[in-house]
Amino acid sequence: MTATTASTASAPPPAGAAPASQPASAPRPEPGALHGPVLQWFHEHARDLPWRRPEAGPWGVMVSEFMLQQTPVSRVLPVYTQWLKRWPRPADLAAEAPGEAVRAWGRLGYPRRALRLHAAATAIKERHNGDVPKRHAQLLALPGIGEYTAAAVASFAYGQRHAVLDTNVRRVYARLVGGTEFPPGATTAVERRVARELLPDEDAEAARWGAATMELGALVCTARKPDCGSCPVAALCAWRLAGHPAHAGPPRRTQSYAGTDRQVRGRLLAVLRDADGPVPQQRLDAVWHEPVQRARALDSLVSDGLVEPLADGLYRLPQT
């Protein structure tokens, strides 16, 4: 509520300029002191994203959550729009071959998500009368839905009270409450407890809180260049109060890509996506020079159900 855009908030120092160490126990902000400023900030700065509009419905929310798993909003937007136009209900997607989902997925990456979304739509049609289920446990039982996505759909689509703990929220809490720049590699029990404790009591407000903290992490409390001057809770932030200490502990491992099986898989699948029908092995062989790795990548795609082998050395996207 109060405008906390204090000009005293300074940009974090470059990594390496570690300040003096401080006691590990900075006073934890009271939940009530955080809710107002963050929710007000969200009210003023939330992006107008299609899956946040009422007309998106639970299916729209669910599709967006699948696509946004590890993929930036800017790249999801056009695919999301086409997807919902083509398959406005789960049953519409379930009625098509899984390969069509893989094709429409385009270059969003991690194409197994497309397969799982198709499988989830099929399960929704068969087990839930074609409606995206409301209960967290039912959502969690669907293919491709884990702890985060189940909470996100239950919260954003149905207004329920669930702790939504994605990479944005984890980073916000690590800084705001934990006083450290980044959260641990894997989600911990302590993080879940903090998330539960900070969750507002009322359903609707809790749902807005989840979206607001995610948005804060996406727009202000970013990984590379946090804009503390624009943060509604900078005055309460343990990390800022400690002088923006640099990341301690082991370096976060970065994933390689060039030369890996993933790159080969990506190239193979791109050929099949862009082809109308079955493709001869020869065309797949052209995407990678090394035959052993090439064969391994193709085998793994078949094993994943992303590619269907036919007779005579032909391959295609899965029809069944």
Partner DNA sequence: TAATCGTGGTC
Partner DNA sequence: TGACCAAGATT
Contact between 272 and DNA by CB under 7 A: the answer reads no
The residue among 81 and 260 lying less far from DNA, judged by its C-beta, is 260
Polymer length in residues for the chain: 320
Shortest Cβ 2–DNA spacing (Å): 26
Contact between 293 and DNA by CB under 7 A: the answer reads no
Contact between 285 and DNA by CB under 7 A: the answer reads no
Burial 92-102 (b: 16+ CB within 10 A, else e): ebbebebbbbb
Shortest Cβ 66–DNA spacing (Å): 8
What residues have CB less than 8 Å from 27, skipping those under 6 apart? none
The residue among 4 and 110 lying less far from DNA, judged by its C-beta, is 110
The residue among 9 and 246 lying less far from DNA, judged by its C-beta, is 246
| Pairwise CA distance, residues 7 & 19, whole Å | 20
Burial 194-215 (b: 16+ CB within 10 A, else e): bbeebbbeeeebbbbbbbbbbb
* Type of residue at 272: L
Question: Which among 65, 181, 191, 215 is annotated as catalytic?
Answer: 65
Shortest Cβ 206–DNA spacing (Å): 17
Contact between 225 and DNA by CB under 7 A: the answer reads yes
Query: Which 3 state secondary structure label does DSSP give 151?
Result: helix
Element (H, E) at 314: strand 314-316
Contact between 300 and DNA by CB under 7 A: the answer reads yes
Member of 10, 22, 70, 82 binding DNA (CB under 7 A): 70
Ordered alpha helix ranges (H), 14-72: 31-45, 57-68
> How far, CA to CA in Å, does 302 sit from each of 18, 109, 207, 265?
49, 17, 40, 10
Shortest Cβ 78–DNA spacing (Å): 12
The residue among 157 and 233 lying less far from DNA, judged by its C-beta, is 157
Q: Is 44 a catalytic residue?
A: no
> Active-site positions?
65
Report the interface residues with DNA, using CB under 7 A: 49, 51-52, 64-65, 68-75, 107-112, 116, 143-150, 152, 166-168, 171, 185-186, 214-215, 217-218, 222-225, 251-255, 257, 260-263, 265-267, 269-270, 300
